[in-house]
Structure 1
């Protein structure tokens, strides 16, 4: 029986990808590097630090990784604070409230920085539902490495065997399965170029599930 649900954030709770896309590509212009769509798609599920470590090697960038991170986050934060059309993924707020009211523990484990997670959670008043926030910036390796989900599961008040993960990216699903945790794949209009075939089950809309249905997935 499922007693803890571990949520990814980007693409699962909120679609901040357009803001990230804007911030990254504005930064790429400043750096005068040509990051193709194919290269950019491989970054899904990676922390900002890991993205710039890869870009530094790929384009032989002279800038320090920490400086690159700070500049991108500055562009992102400016865009995030001024963008009016930022909404939670359709149906996810009702699911979060339903799970919480049925005493299922909720944890978020996202590759995003703590600052970005807190911005999203504050904007949409989500802190009250989640017991823990786990950020990818605290781990040297990003998804598909399972470390972030292994840590999230260790924070659960229940055994790992009673946890599931909701993910929308190839890297996230691989990380979930690498951690040995049941993965519910979320495939939506926002999910582009992502392979969810390793997920234990897949939904296309959060209206397909509720606390009752999720509780019996295991």
Structure 2
């Protein structure tokens, strides 16, 4: 086995955008005297359509609500949260290391390309990614494996020559179904998910170098 590429998820993996969104809706729910359960929210992490926070708030309050007003409020709070959010610890180190090792670097995300490009540019890391595949490129997002299949195809490597870095079960399922090695790096809103299918679980991208990760994956496949 020779690992030639690494494909990163975006939301919740490179930046803690997942917590930004969850905290924004948690505050909105509180304004209506309700609580947003993390277990319910987590169903939609890494995919689309898994959980409708507007529908759930209507269920809890017992009636229809002005979704446009709630969405505008969410966007306001979410943007304020995002403005305070930086890259996760270890992201820059791993990107630089991957480049130094000669690994091809891709990104596969269920988010839309404009969202991804915006934040990669703002964080100054866009140039690291040779390939980006987003919801704009597929009919089905994660856990469907198509995003990862398209990413490795565009990188010119076989699926078993690539490592996926994921923070959610939906993302991990997509990567494994596509044939990639799956490294899970949970964040505070995905920490309680069941990552038993992962080839490796890390507390953060600071914990292990790619050299160490590749060495362990090679040992595990012997």
Task: State the TM-score, normalizing by the size of structure 2.
Answer: 0.77
**Partners of 2:124 and 2:163 in 1: CA distance:** 23
Q: Look up the SS of the partner of 1:183 in the other structure.
A: strand
Rg bigger for which structure? 2
* Deviation string, structure 1 residues 20-61 (Cα, Å, up to 9, x no partner): 2255568889xxx996543321001113x6656x969x97xx
Query: Against the structure 1 CA distance between its residues 74 and 135, is the aligned structure 2 distance closer, same or farther, given a 3 Å change threshold?
Result: farther
**Partners of 2:167 and 2:111 in 1: CA distance:** 14
What residue in structure 1 maps to residue 194 of structure 2? 195
* Deviation string, structure 1 residues 103-133 (Cα, Å, up to 9, x no partner): 1111011111212111210111111111011
Q: Which runs of 5+ in 2 are unaligned?
A: none
Query: Against the structure 1 CA distance between its residues 116 and 50, is the aligned structure 2 distance closer, same or farther, given a 3 Å change threshold?
Result: farther
What residue in structure 2 maps to residue 99 of structure 1? 98
* Deviation string, structure 1 residues 33-92 (Cα, Å, up to 9, x no partner): 996543321001113x6656x969x97xx9xxxx98xx9599547743674420111111
Q: Does residue 1:89 correspond to 2:88, yes or no?
A: yes
What residue in structure 1 maps to residue 132 of structure 2? 133
Task: State the TM-score, normalizing by the size of structure 1.
Answer: 0.78
What residue in structure 1 maps to residue 5 of structure 2? 4
Q: CA RMSD in A?
A: 3.4
The 5 A counterparts of 1:1-218 are 1-22=2-23, 36-47=37-48, 72=71, 75-76=74-75, 79-80=78-79, 83-216=82-215, 217-218=217-218
**Partners of 1:178 and 1:95 in 2: CA distance:** 24
Query: How much does 1:11 deviate?
Result: 1.6
Q: What number of residue pairs does the alignment pair up?
A: 210
Q: Look up the SS of the partner of 1:155 in the other structure.
A: helix
Query: How much does 1:161 deviate?
Result: 2.2
| Contact 1:186–1:203 (Cα < 8 Å) also in 2 | yes
